[in-house]
Amino acid sequence: MRIEDKSLLKTEAYIDGKWVSKESTFAVSNPFDGTLIAQISDCNQEDTEKAIEAAHKAFKVWNGFTANKRSKILQAWNTLILENANDLAHILTVEQGKPLAEALGEIKYGASYIEWFAEEAKRVYGDVIPGQSTKNRITVIKQPVGIVGAITPWNFPSAMITRKIAPALAAGCTVVVKPSEYTPLSALALAVLADRAGFPPGVINIVPTMDAASVGQTLTSHPKVKKISFTGSTRVGKLILKQSADQVKKVTLELGGNAPFIVFADADIDAAVEGCFASKFRNGGQTCVCTNRIFLHESIHDAFLEKFALKVESIKTGNGLDTDVHIGPMINEGAIEKDLQLINDATQKGAKIITGGDRKEGLFIEPTVICDLDSNMDIYSSEIFGPIAAIYKFNSEAEVIQKANDTNYGLASYFYGRDYALIWRVAEALEYGMVGINTGVMSTVTAPFGGVKESGFGREGSKYGIDEYLNIKYMCWGGVE
């Protein structure tokens, strides 16, 4: 691997400030060509329990620091990440597949959460509330929930970690992170830099594993873990919620999506094409906020489709380390098979492929545009998670709102239009936690990221993000008069 700082490439678990080597290991391979990158220590329930105990011991130390001291350590971590951004991006591309420029963007995006919450650490304010009588005074303080278990996905192996643990650390919590078995190297590289930044032992722990079910069960069932933050599929999220319910843990879930992208008759077509392209094909379509269903008003359907298809045909797939590649490989064979099944089901039921539609050598599907779709096809209700643009036609505002909301998911949604009254009506009517209006990209540290319905609950980022890691304590003072 071509990185300047070879010490960033770690293969051991990181527990209680130490690198822990295990006899049992699992392989991490490059999804582009299948070559072996590294053998990673495979943690089990016992290792996870050790990490939890380390986090429990460290909690008293870390929470005892002033907010300003925690902030300075977080700021040092942010600086180190930015200084090593090129190496971190290279590691990310090799293990996950996305183009290097996109990986570098993720590293900087992830670091922005550390910078933001380093500042928010100093702004965890309480309240003084007028008492119910002259004899009483009421104060409110906020305190860290305790140990946080963070379970992160493979599609954003760096940013999903920082987005979760930066606010937790800022609040005074300690963390145990289980990264995806496909992309543990990015998590471990972050731990190297966290160690250099000066976090006390046990504040951050990384437990890579192939046995996600066992480690996840340990985190959700251990009485010393007070909070779980999970990003992943709705199916697994529901299981984590059930497991956490026995101890009534605080839980944040960022789950699947089925994002609509609506283009109304008065929209700027060229801008809508650009926005849809950016939303649909970022990370090869492998994000939970990617456009999933593209609804085009019948009056602009053909014009949009012609311009959009030409742009999709220009996409180059290949090795993410090559400078002219737009989309890297999909993560595994299962992802390929799922998307090919969606295409086959749709075409068998009458859908038409405009461009793409076939598998390429390796873990690649041709960037695809498919139209003449309807709600009877599997693709309508499934999260695609791949480079497939699914096109639908509509003829009224009421119709498209009904179709856009016709899903169990409620994460991201997008629409393009110019009529300000329509914009207000549609934005309010869409049953989603996030609405992009005349934009196809809206993820930013300054805004609350999260969904409704079966896309989960809780928010990450913004001033609201740190609240997920705090408990409110009300203190009633009597006998003041």
Contact criterion met (CB below 8 Å) for 380 and 229 = no
Give the torsion through C-alpha atoms of 103, 175, 118, 185, to 10 deg.
-20
Give me the CATH number covering residue 270.
Answer: 3.40.309.10
Strands 225-231 and 250-254: parallel
Q: Are residues 385 and 245 in the same domain?
A: no
CA-angle at 392, arms to 406 and 304, nearest 5°: 135
Strand pairing category for 250-254 and 456-457: antiparallel
Residues assigned a catalytic role? 254, 288
- Confidence band of 2 (pLDDT split at 50, 70, 90): confident
> Once rounded to an integer, what is the mean pLDDT over residues 11-15?
98
Residue 52: the pLDDT is 98
17 pLDDT more than 90: yes
Instruction: State whether 163 and 300 are in the same domain.
Output: no
Cβ atoms of 113 and 106 closer than 8 Å: no
Domain annotation covers residue 450 = no
Structure tokens that stand for 444 in this block: 């930013």
Q: Is residue 480 part of a domain?
A: no
Percent of the chain predicted with pLDDT > 90: 98
Alpha-carbon distance of 23 to 348, in angstroms, equals: 49
Instruction: Indicate whether 300 and 378 sit together in one domain.
Output: yes
Q: Is the pLDDT of residue 208 over 90?
A: yes
Query: For position 1, what pLDDT does the model report?
Result: 79
**Are 193 and 265 contained in the same domain?**
no
Calpha distance 448→459 (Å, rounded): 5
Within-domain flag for 1: no
Calculate the alpha carbon distances from 167 to 70, 75, 197 in Å.
11, 13, 16
- Domain of 211 in residue numbering reads as 6-256+455-474
- Name the nearest CA neighbour of 48 among 56, 60, 40, 59: 56
Mean pLDDT of the chain: 97
pLDDT of 11 above 90: yes
Structural domain contains residue 91: yes
In-domain check, residue 284: yes
The pLDDT-based confidence of 223 (bands split at 50, 70, 90) is very high
Q: Are 57 and 125 in a shared domain? A: yes
In a domain, 380, yes or no: yes
pLDDT at 363 exceeding the cut of 90: yes
Question: Mean pLDDT, to the nearest integer, of 195-215?
Answer: 98
Give the chain's domain count. 2
Give the predicted TM-score (pTM) of the model. 0.96
Length reported for the chain: 481
Yes or no: say if 294 and 261 are a contact pair by the CB < 8 Å rule. Answer: yes
Residue 481's pLDDT is what? 81
Query: Residue 131's pLDDT band (boundaries 50, 70, 90)?
Result: confident
Task: Please list the alpha-helical segments (H only) found in 282-396.
Answer: 301-313, 333-348, 378-381
Mapped onto helix, strand or coil, the DSSP state of residue 118 is helix
Average pLDDT over residues 213-238: 97
Three-class DSSP category at 108: helix
Mean pLDDT of 19-29: 98
pLDDT digits 0-9 by tens, 68-98? 999 999 999 999 999 999 999 999 999 999 9
Residues 44 and 70 in one domain: yes
Per-residue pLDDT band for 56 (boundaries 50, 70, 90) equals very high
Cβ atoms of residues 296 and 273 within 8 Å: no
What digits encode the pLDDT tens for the residues 285-338?
999 999 999 999 999 999 999 999 999 999 999 999 999 999 999 999 999 999
d(CA 210, CA 93): 21
